[in-house]
Amino acid sequence: MSTLSDRIAQAKKSHGIAVLPFIAAGYPDLDTSMQLLPALDKAGAAGAEVGFPFSDPIADGPIIQAAFTEALKHGLKVDQIFDGVAATRSQHALPLFAMVSFSIVYRYGVDAFVKKAKQSGFAATIIPDLPPPEAEETCKRIGAGGLETIMLISPSTPAKRRDEIARLCTGFIYYLSIAGITGERDKLPPGIEANVRAIKQITDRLVCVGFGISKPEHVRQLSGIADGVIVGSGIVRRIKDSKTPVADVQAYCAQLVAAE
């Protein structure tokens, strides 16, 4: 297993579940977004998802859409994200996974993107708009470049497609709690536990749950069932509302980790 998978598995063994925060690269500005990484490491996160801003949202709710729009207004470029990640590598030990549209990867060049991501310090990629079977060749190239592939399964994913996705994953499976968009929710939808267990019956890959995870009680609900939880909108909203975003996000993440 890679460093990312190792860290998630270790957190699951030690605490019942791993907490994996999401940051929007370049929001509220590039320097602050990169400062969040060592802060999240100090808070006990097992890894972090770095979102590459994209103009056409895939499954992003309004909070993350607005953050991406703001980052793009500032003229953020892909290479700036890579350079920012590389510059902070000595400041933290978090394994990072890139959430990026295939449009960005395609324009950059698949092999060039993978090479640069690996050099910068990424451990894995999520390309949410590249489903199987189209994803197969790209997944091979990602793996050949030394990165893991993370793919998404939703409650509405047909059994055959679910099997294909599990086969293509070399990192963890990202299970969407709902077949919708990201965003904070008071309660998680019913059936998550059963659906995670069903996925684990068809694969030995780790399974992490995202979409709607924002409260300590959500973390406790999934502890011992999922391997990890991804927390996005809750973090981005705190950045938006805070005058001290790095400190506030660190405290929020520590709360979630303590709930394990």
Residues acting as catalytic residues: 49, 60
CA distance 93 to 165: 29
CA distance 172 to 2: 11
Q: Which of 198, 158, 154, 151 has the alpha carbon at shortest distance from 179? A: 154
Q: Which of 206, 129, 215 has the alpha carbon at shortest distance from 175? A: 206
CA distance 197 to 220: 16
Across the chain, the runs of DSSP E, i.e. the strands, are 18-24, 48-51, 96-99, 122-126, 148-153, 173-176, 207-210, 228-231
What is the rounded (10 degree) CA torsion for 37, 169, 153, 214? Answer: -20
CA distance readout (Å), 256 to 82, 166, 216, 249 = 28, 28, 5, 11
What is the rounded (10 degree) CA torsion for 24, 16, 125, 239? Answer: 0
What would the two tokens of residue 124 be? 């894995």
Angle at CA 53, nearest 5°, toward 166 and 69? 135
